[in-house]
Structure 1
Amino acid sequence: MARPRAFDEESVVSAVRDQFWDAGYAATSVEDLMRVSGLGKGSLYAAYGDKHQLFLRALQDYTDTSHDFLRRALTEARRAIDALRMLLEAPIGDHARRPADSGVRRGCLLANSTCELGNSDADVLAHARRAYETSTALISNCVDRAQREGDVPADADPVLLARALLAAQQGIVFMGRTGMDTATLTATARSLATQLLPDHSAD
């Protein structure tokens, strides 16, 4: 009979995820993973496999959490158009909470990982494609609601607009990683919102 795990799996995965998020995959050593998790190499590998499998587990945790947050944000807003505009400014909130001298501008773990490993790791690339398609579907549903509420033209293609919004949001994330100030990021996000989601209330 297998012995029960004598550690909090959620805490371990969270700690490992943050390590990969801060340092990236290549720069994270097994010793780093042992340090942040508090587990020995044997325990880590017995529970999760090798470093690559542990990374994929942490990436899945990040994606699931992100999609849960996105789903709630898009469905609980009073009006869908407000949620769609919020989508573009959402990355700026995290940027503003992190001091400029923190030494870490995290960005999006999924985007970071795709940039680092997308050309060499088929598993990461496949995961990224699935994740972005899920995000697109969630945003597309919100666009559809905004159309029913009269805030987005009925002839707009929900999927194409959703992809444009997602691409714009990821652009804001990358700009934030360069150290661009919050005011500039906010102005850029609002300009994108004006162009992608113009106000049709007076039409």
Structure 2
Amino acid sequence: MAGVPGEAGAAGGKQVLNAVRDQFWDAGYAATSLEDLMRVSGLGKGSLYAAFGDKRQLFLRALHSYTDDSHGHLREALAEAPRALDALRMLLEAPIGDPTGTGTRRGCLMANSTCELGNADPEVLDHAHRTYETSTALIGDCVARAQREGDLPAGADPIALARALLAAQQGIVFMSRTGLDAATLTATARSLAAQLLPDHSCD
């Protein structure tokens, strides 16, 4: 990351930001102290603040990094599947991931941050809105592709279906945080897929 001075170094800036992001992700904004940030980053207070600003600015940088990475992964996952319908179905099962459930129980950093800070911080709320709109647009493009491939009804509104799929996926993320086992989450995801993404090619 360009512009990270001293102890961080340009090459290590992304690693520092990732470490800080994980700290906020695990503990939340309010429960993360300056000492926590210094510990996970390996930087002193002066170097940390010189590179990234105060705690709030550091959090916002970490949050933007998270959503940028998430959208990059989403673009790749939707584009790489041989058929768009398969990509959309995988989207619903993606939050289940690790069969042990340890990874998914962190939830979504954007959703977690919106719940914690959305009412008090308009910038976080605005970023959440823009993040979900971008996700919806990416999923909507994949829905439109599935329609062109003949796997979904041509008359369906791609954006409306994309919002439904995103809401379903985020619901699975939340359910995973309650401790539901992977088999139950998988069955739920497949039930949602059967209802939201019936295979039109067999009609």
TM bucket normalised to smaller: over 0.9
- 1:81 partnered with 2:54: no
The answer to whether the aligner puts 1:30 opposite 2:69 as a matched pair is: no
Matched, 1:122 2:122: yes
The amino acid across from 2:136 in the alignment is: T
Q: 1:200 corresponds to which residue?
A: 200
Shift of 1:202: 1.6
Q: Structure 1: how far apart are the matches of 2:159 and 2:82?
A: 22
Which residue does the alignment assign to 1:176? Answer: 176
Partner SS, residue 47 of structure 1? helix
Cross-structure match for 2:18: 14
Amino acid of the residue matched to residue 30 of structure 1? L
CA shift, 1:3, in A, is 9.1
Over the matched positions of the two proteins, sequence identity in percent amounts to 76
- Shift of the 199–3 alpha-carbon distance from structure 1 to 2, 3 Å rule, reads closer
> Structure 1 length as normaliser, TM-score?
0.94
Displacement of 1:97 after TM fit?
Answer: 4.5
Check whether the contact 2:101–2:179 (CA below 8 A) recurs between aligned residues: no
CA shift for structure 1 position 145: 0.2
- Residues 122-150 of structure 1: CA deviation (Å, up to 9, x unaligned): 11101101100000000000000000000
Residue 142 of structure 2 aligns with an amino acid whose one-letter code is: C
**Shift in alpha-carbon separation, 1:194–1:98, aligned structure 2, 3 A:** closer
Q: Provide structure 2 residue ranges, at least 5 long, that are not aligned to the other structure.
A: none
Distance in 1 between residues matched to 2:153 and 2:4, nearest whole Å: 58
1:58 counterpart residue number: 62
Distance in 2, matches of 1:46 and 1:106, equals 29
RMSD: 1.6
Unaligned runs of 5+ in 1: none
Residue of structure 2 in register with 1:188 after alignment: 188
Q: Judging changes above 3 Å, is the alpha-carbon distance between structure 1 residues 181 and 4 closer, same or farther for their aligned structure 2 residues?
A: closer
Aligned partners of 1:126, 1:3: CA distance in 2, in Å?
Answer: 27
The residue type equivalent to 2:169 in the other structure is Q
**TM-score, normalised via structure 2 length:** 0.94
For 1:4 and 1:169, the matched residues in 2 are separated by: 39
Aligned residue among 41, 44, 47 for 2:45: 41
Give 3-state SS (helix, strand or coil) of 2:168's partner.
helix
**2:162 alignment counterpart:** 162
1:166 deviates by 0.2
Q: Distance in 2 between matches of 1:161 and 1:11?
A: 37
One-letter amino acid matched to 1:194 = A
